[in-house]
Amino acid sequence: MEPSYLTSLNSNQRKAVIHGHDCDKMRAGPVLIIAGAGSGKTKTLSHRVAHLVVNGVDPQRILLLTFTRRAAQELINRAQAITAAVTKVQSAFPWAGTFHAIGAKVLREYADQVGLDRHFTILDREDAADLLDLVRHDLDMHLATKRFPQKGTCLAIYSRTVNSGLRLDEVLEESFPWCLQWVDDLQALFAAYVTAKQRHASLDYDDLLTYWDLAMQVPEIAAHLSSQFDHILVDEYQDTNALQASILLNLRPGGEGMMVVGDDAQSIYSFRAASVQNILGFPAQFSPSAEVLTLDRNYRSTQSILAASNAVISEAKERYTKDLWTERLSQQKPLLVSVQDAVEQAKYVAEKILEFREAGDSLKKQAVLFRASHHSAVLELELTRHGIPFVKFGGLKFLDAKHVKDMLGILKFAENPKDRIAAFRTLQLLPGIGPKVAGKIFDFIADYGTPIQRLADYRPPAAAAEQWTSLLALLNHLVISGRWPADIEAVRHWYTPILQNEFDDAAPRIADLVQLADIACGYPFRSKFLSELALDPPDATSDEAGDPLKDEDYLCLSTVHSAKGKEWKSVFLLNVMDGCFPIDLGAGTSAEIEEERRLLYVAMTRAKDNLALMLPQRWYTSGQQAYGDRHLYAARTRFITDTMLAHFEQRSWSSFAADALTRSSVLPSKMVDVGARMRERWK
């Protein structure tokens, strides 16, 4: 008799879940699940995990890799609910998490074998950029006669190089051609950057994968780690880069017990070095080839939306053939709405959003998507004018705020005194201490066995003398206390007067620190708190427009990249024209064009019931000459061909036409001399 938890699955989902049921511990050969948008990927994967446990697989011997901690937690929560209902036991999955989180765990476990300091700290993106900038200044590269790339660009180049597995010159030629003249200098910079990280016992995000990959190239380590797992499951495999694919292949060369899930049609993160070829070429990496199963039944969208989406992606040059289908029939086709310009586009969207709300659809059930963050500027003004609250995804993150980074910097310095960035940030909180003095202090303590204690022998500038003693007392307390999370309250108490003196808006910033302390209470140790926060930081309220609370109704604004994995009843997509889809900067190579096509597909498949693609006829650009009309006349995106138009309902809309319904068509006949009235006023 079939277990009850399998009855809710369709036939293809069931095949994926019970794959290898006739093998020992269900360790069959490798399998690729092509999971179309809205096809129940998370449901299938969570049922697979639960099915393994129910059939005797130790949950501690399951490696589950995802791209966000939220996704990992959702999968585990669902799997635990199923297994608990069957076995009456709550299973724990210690090896479930993001690639970077699992990489950090592996590296701490094998630190001695790979020559790492077990107490290494993890640099977030901003800290990594700051360290790279310090190294750049140490090498006097900022003094170059021609402008040297900024720290953010340097870090992006470094990250792209290590994650893609390409040579530096290849990365520059392909993605950063304006930096080709600096190839030798960048090579020297990155070598010095790696040395600095090792000296400071720090790893950046990319190191977590690079070191893990290098460790997996040692057969003894790879064999030992591989022996700990019966099954390896990977979510969103289309988003993996060369490093991640290499790690998995070295971890399981034969593919036994490996299942990867993804959708080649949703591969849209090449700017993060993700490669669609990983999923396209996955079966051929093994002998015999990996089995391919397809989930093509969609539970999200209407058949009309799917028909249009299928038509768009069918033109892709390389793909796994699938046509999404659903039992949700609808006569309403996706709309292709022509408007005059961006202002009219904003008016139409705002008007329709209010209409949907009046019809009973809350704002949270609606979303406006766009190719780039700045494309929503005109719309944001229109929404504000109508009093429509909204949340915009993207922007400053919680941990990027200076006051939060200051707090974390103190904790990181106490945790790892070799962390130069943390030391610099902490020391510069005191008056009279700038980058130069902070550098001298760090050099003074760097080679000392107990760097924090060594600070007592340094004579600080006179301006810092008053707070120097209290900072030393705090740091020594943090080193010896071990009272977590009480220690973070000690840091907050010390830092609050500095915050109040530095910022005019101290109150909301203090509230942020209270929130940080609340987050800290969820972690048993300071080291785990710092690592987890660096690996998967929370979003800030600064991502939001206004101050919406969870129980308030508000509209979602999002880039298409940020919208992946989400769904709404009604979706408006702005600027569906050449120049945005594909975006001008992404219209170079054939591979870039194909990714832009997939991006449009992802946007369209976010909609459940209503989809409106907006086409402004005139497009403002700052690239035009200052004289004359700065507008360009837009053409419909090349990804929606004439043959596809049958899948859409085409409309033209104008606010002037809409306003005419409420205006009288006859002007008043009475003349008024307003000029005479103005003259009379000043007599």
pLDDT tens digits, one per residue of 353-365: 999 999 999 999 9
Task: Judge whether 111 and 146 are in contact, CB under 8 Å.
Answer: no
Which residue numbers in the chain have pLDDT < 70?
1, 142-146, 394-399, 505, 536-551, 585-587, 620-632, 657-670
Give the helix ranges, DSSP H, for 25-175. Answer: 41-54, 69-87, 99-109, 111-114, 125-138, 151-164, 168-175
The closest of 33, 30, 1 to 15, measured between CA atoms, is 33
pLDDT tens track for 461-519: 998 888 999 999 999 988 887 788 888 889 999 999 888 888 776 777 787 788 788 77
Q: Are 30 and 291 in contact (CB under 8 A)?
A: yes
* Structural contact between residues 19 and 259, judged by C-beta atoms closer than 8 angstroms: yes
**How far from each other are the two terminal CA atoms of the chain, in whole angstroms?**
100
**pTM greater than 0.85:** no
| pLDDT for residue 539 | 41
Amino acid 633: pLDDT: 78
Place of tokens 């006569």: 331
The residues that bridge with 441 in the sheet, in sequence order, are none
Give the separation between CA 175 and CA 649, rounded to whole angstroms.
38
- Ramachandran quadrant class, 26 (left: phi over 0; alpha: psi -120 to 50; beta: rest): left
Residue 539 carries which side chain, given as an amino acid letter?
D
Name 262's bridge partners: 34
- For 170, residues 6+ apart whose C-beta sits below 8 A from its C-beta are none
Predicted local distance difference test score (pLDDT) of residue 145: 57
Give the chain's largest Cα–Cα span: 103
Cα 636 to chain centroid distance, Å, stands at: 29
CA dihedral (338, 344, 345, 346) in degrees, to 10, reads: -170
Number of H helices, E strands in the chain: 28, 17
Helix (H) / strand (E) element for 349: namely: helix 342-358
The stretches of 121-258 forming alpha helices (DSSP H) are 125-138, 151-164, 168-175, 183-199, 205-216, 219-226, 242-251
Question: What gap in Å lies between CA 454 and CA 452, rounded to an integer?
Answer: 5
